[in-house]
Amino acid sequence: MNKFAFVTGANKGIGYEIVRQLAEQNYHVFLGSRNEELGKKAIQSLGFANVSFVQVDISDTDSIQNAKNKILEVTNHLDLLINNAGIALDFGILPSELKIETLRKGFDVNFFGTFQMIQQFLPLVKNSQGGKIVNLTTDMASQTMFDNGQAGQLNILGYNSSKTAVNSLTLAFGKEFGDNGPEIFGVTPGFTTTDLNHNAPGGKTPVEGAQIIVKYALSDTNYNGKILDKNGIIPW
Ligand SMILES: NC(=O)c1ccc[n+]([C@@H]2O[C@H](COP(=O)([O-])OP(=O)(O)OC[C@H]3O[C@@H](n4cnc5c(N)ncnc54)[C@H](OP(=O)(O)O)[C@@H]3O)[C@@H](O)[C@H]2O)c1
């Protein structure tokens, strides 16, 4: 049976490289992009026959449903759902200065968007033997690591707390799924130089960031309900 993966926010950055690496492993990959032109450009520049474009804005319920219908025209099962799309709007803004609108916007995409993606696509993931949902997160969303200094120390409440909420849904869905699949887990690529952080120097390349995600996505180990960095399971 063909293997199918859906990667959101894949017109650039880490998501784009995740698509490439999965396509190289003979997955049929649906490259999700909210912008049709950018998504189609990405498909062209990747140059794989086994990658196809699916428009999806994860903050828009209709768009998610349309994406699901498009994928259902091709397959009724998804082996991998990679919830990669995300935004970070409050770099350089202290919690005391953060506008409520900015906080809401971050949650709308990172948390509510990821939640809706999971609910909508769960039936397809359940139709796959060993289906997995992978949520992109950050070490700064780990309360333990942020507090004890093991994580990056950017005190960006909007971004960090939206990803903490993503971790929380990872745990909650993981408890629901139990030991018999599907699997859901969070992975942080670690600091990676991309548009998300205005290409701040000193991070991993998107290729390196994507390798960490793909390693766990293709692993035989069951990581259901866990959050991970490149070295393994990290604390909440
Ligand atoms: N870079 C890091 O250091 C780092 C560290 C830890 C975790 N992460 C996580 O890794 C993931 C990928 O980030 P990146 O660094 O590769 O960032 P990026 O280059 O900015 O890519 C983000 C992607 O998400 C898309 N996106 C944003 N809002 C969306 C929406 N409402 N619906 C659909 N797609 C949407 C963007 O589309 P547009 O091009 O249309 O804006 C873009 O394709 C994010 O979840 C991020 O939080 C990154």
What is the dihedral angle through the alpha carbons of 224, 229, 235, 236, rounded to the nearest 10 degrees? -70
The mean pLDDT value for 177-195 works out to: 96
By percentage, how much of the chain surpasses pLDDT 70?
A: 100
The mean pLDDT value for 205-218 works out to: 98
- Whether residue 181 is predicted with pLDDT greater than 80 in this model: the reply is yes
Residue nearest to atom 2 of ligand 1 (CA): 192
Ligand 1 centre and the CA of 201: distance in Å? Answer: 17
Widest CA span in the chain: 53
CB-based pocket (< 6 A), ligand 1: 8-9, 11-15, 34-35, 38, 56-59, 84-87, 109, 113, 136, 138, 188-189, 191-192, 194-197, 203
- 């699901």: which residue's tokens? 68
Question: For the chain, what is the mean pLDDT?
Answer: 98
**If pLDDT is split at 50, 70 and 90, which confidence band does 209 have?**
very high
User: Which domains does the chain carry?
Assistant: 4-233 (3.40.50.720)
Amino acid type, 209? G
Q: Quote the CA–CA distance of 85 and 213 in Å, as a whole number.
A: 13
28 closest CA partner among 65, 63, 71: 71
pLDDT, position 163: 99
Ligand 1 centre and the CA of 188: distance in Å? Answer: 12
2 closest CA partner among 75, 95, 90, 84: 75
Q: Quote the CA–CA distance of 209 and 233 in Å, as a whole number.
A: 17
pLDDT, position 229: 98
**For helices 157-177 and 114-126, what crossing angle results, to 10°?**
30
Ligand 1 centre and the CA of 9: distance in Å? Answer: 6
Q: Are 2 and 50 in contact (CB under 8 A)?
A: no
Ligand 1 centre and the CA of 10: distance in Å? Answer: 8
Q: Are 216 and 27 in contact (CB under 8 A)?
A: no
> pLDDT per residue over 77-136, tens digit each?
999 999 999 999 999 999 999 999 999 999 999 999 999 999 999 999 999 999 999 999
- Whether residue 1 is predicted with pLDDT greater than 70 in this model: the reply is no
**If pLDDT is split at 50, 70 and 90, which confidence band does 180 have?**
confident
The mean pLDDT value for 138-152 works out to: 98
